[in-house]
A = this chain, B = another copy of it.
Amino acid sequence: MRFSTRGHYGLKAMFDLAQHYGTAPVPLKSIAERQNLSVQYLEQLIAMLKKAGLVKSVRGAQGGYMLAYSPEEIKVGEVIRALEGPVAPVDCVNEFDPKECDQADFCITRIVWEKIRNSIAQVMDSITLADLCREAKRRENEAGEELNLKRGF
C-alpha cells in the first residue's frame, strides 16, 4: 500500500509555496531546486493542483506560482486528493463514488476498509499547510537553541 510520488512531491511543492505565501510568485525552477525534484515532472503535478483551484500562476519572466488561498485555508487532504484522487483503499469504499459490489450488504471485511479510509481522511483533513509551516518554524528555533546550548549559552 503506497501513495504515488505525485502526492509525495506535490505536497512538498505546496509546502514550499506556503512558506513563500504573500511574497512574489515562485518559479518552479526554484521549488525544484529546494525540494530536489525535476522541473518537468513538477510542471505536471502543479497543473493538477491548478486545475483543482489550489494554486494560481503568473506567466512570463518574473512569473511563477502562488497559493490560491492562505496556508491556513488549505488542508493537506485537498492537496493529496487533487493529486491522488479520492481516498479509496479498495474500490468498494471509495469516499466519493464507491464501486457497487453485489456483496455490499453482507460483506463484513468492508468494515475494515471503511475504518482505514476514514482514519486516513481524518489525518489528511486535520492538517493545514499553515500547520506544517508552524512546525518548520518550531524546528528552526529548536535547532537554534541546541546550537546555543552547544556554544555554552
Q: Which residues of A contact B (CB under 8 A)?
A: 1-5, 7-8, 11-12, 15, 36, 76, 80, 84-85, 87-91, 102-103, 106-109, 111-113, 115-116, 119-120, 122-124, 127, 132, 135-136, 139
The 9 closest A-B pairs by CB, nearest first: A119-B119, A8-B90, A108-B136, A115-B123, A11-B109, A1-B3, A3-B89, A108-B132, A119-B123
Assembly CA distance A116 to B90 (angstroms)? 16
Tallying the copies of this chain within the complex gives: 2
Shortest Cβ distance from residue A42 to the other chain B in the assembled complex, whole angstroms = 14
Q: Do residues A88 and B1 form an inter-chain contact, with CB atoms below 8 A? A: yes
In the complex, which residue of chain B has the Cβ closest to the Cβ of A126?
A: B115
